[in-house]
Amino acid sequence: MHYKYSVIIPVYNAEKYLGECIDSVLNQKYQDFEIILVNDGSTDSSGDICDMYMKRDNRVKVYHQNNQGHIVARQKAIALATGDIYLFLDSDDFWDSDLLQTVNATFNEFNCDMVIFNFKRIVNESVIEQKGLFKDKQIFSEGNKHILFEKIINSNDLNSLWIKAVKSSIVYDGIDFSTYNIKHAEDLLLSLPLLYKASKIVYIDKALYNYRMNPQSISNTPNIYKFRDISIVRGKLLEYLKLLGYADDSNIRQFNRFYCKIMADCILTLINLNIEKYNKIKLLKEMYEIPLFVNALNSVKTSYFSPKYIPILCLFKNEYYNLLFIYGNIYKIMQKTKHKIIKQYQ
């Protein structure tokens, strides 16, 4: 079967990389696609770059909106899409030239609802291919889809929307994601209903997507409210585990462990941010009032965690905030010293 692809690209202040991103789609070996660029209130020349590509190629569609975030931008693009299969590309990343060709061959071979593929990290000039999550062309359906959700429970490896190609028939029916008002973990939030609805999913162990480690990107920018977003999305994950019948004791135990680990990282980031101590304590207390987190914290033995996390969780659980700040400073000094030593011997 011959499929048309809708490539969804939210754009925000991406002038440095946007041309390479769009060109990587236009230069695909498989050429039946449309590109939907949603300029989300960029203040640089990104909007002009989008318009320039639209004038060059009638497969490029552009929509300009006030800044409303990635979720709203993607939702708008989905509403405009006319393809049989949707893919998601971030505006500072790019594709290998055979991505669409490989994905298209997989959909035709397996008649599946979703294809998940591997990716490479671009760090400065270095290219690091991620280790495969499963064997090549592994199929997930009703009998073994729990394996995918177990991976999501225990890691961030399957969170990204941009490693997934999905048929339009399973894409969001009446769900308004803008009501969640989050800036972090939105990829997992958007992925969950797709994974839930897909009857057959195929994983291909080929790194086709190039993810640029950009310090200025939204995902790499510290956010004092990140713990709120993570808790909302992990709560949705728990709902889907229950819907699918995957919320057994083992999975809930692993869910709580990984959730506590993520929240411990949020705590460490928070206590080292350059904001008033009073505001830090206020946010820590807010974190302590999240029922999902409190339940997880009380359900997991602190001894399970690595030495990095044990002091954070113990001090937080007992509300020893001043000692928590001291630990945060010590940890920061130790990390700086470690990096200096490593740099000396490189």
Low pLDDT (below 70) residues in the chain: 214-222, 338-346
User: What is the CATH classification number for the domain harbouring 146?
Assistant: 3.90.550.10
Query: Which of the listed residues 180, 205, 220 is the one where a domain comes to its end?
Result: 220
Kindly report the number of other CB atoms within 10 A of residue 12's CB atom.
22
Query: How far is residue 249's CA from residue 294's CA, in Å, rounded to a whole number?
Result: 18
pLDDT at 221: 52
Q: How far is CA 251 from CA 146, 181, 246, 292, 302, in A?
A: 10, 28, 7, 15, 18
pLDDT at 222: 59
Its pTM stands at 0.91
Task: Give the count of domains, the chain.
Answer: 2
Q: Do residue 127 and residue 90 come from a single domain?
A: yes
Q: Do residue 239 and residue 302 come from a single domain?
A: yes
Query: Which of the listed residues 220, 251, 286 is the one where a domain comes to its end?
Result: 220
If we measure between CA atoms, which residue out of 137, 171, 174 comes closest to residue 6?
A: 171
pLDDT at 224: 82
Query: Which of the listed residues 193, 220, 247 is the one where a domain comes to its end?
Result: 220
What SS3 state is found at 35? strand
pLDDT at 179: 84
Find the domain containing 74 and state its range. Answer: 5-220
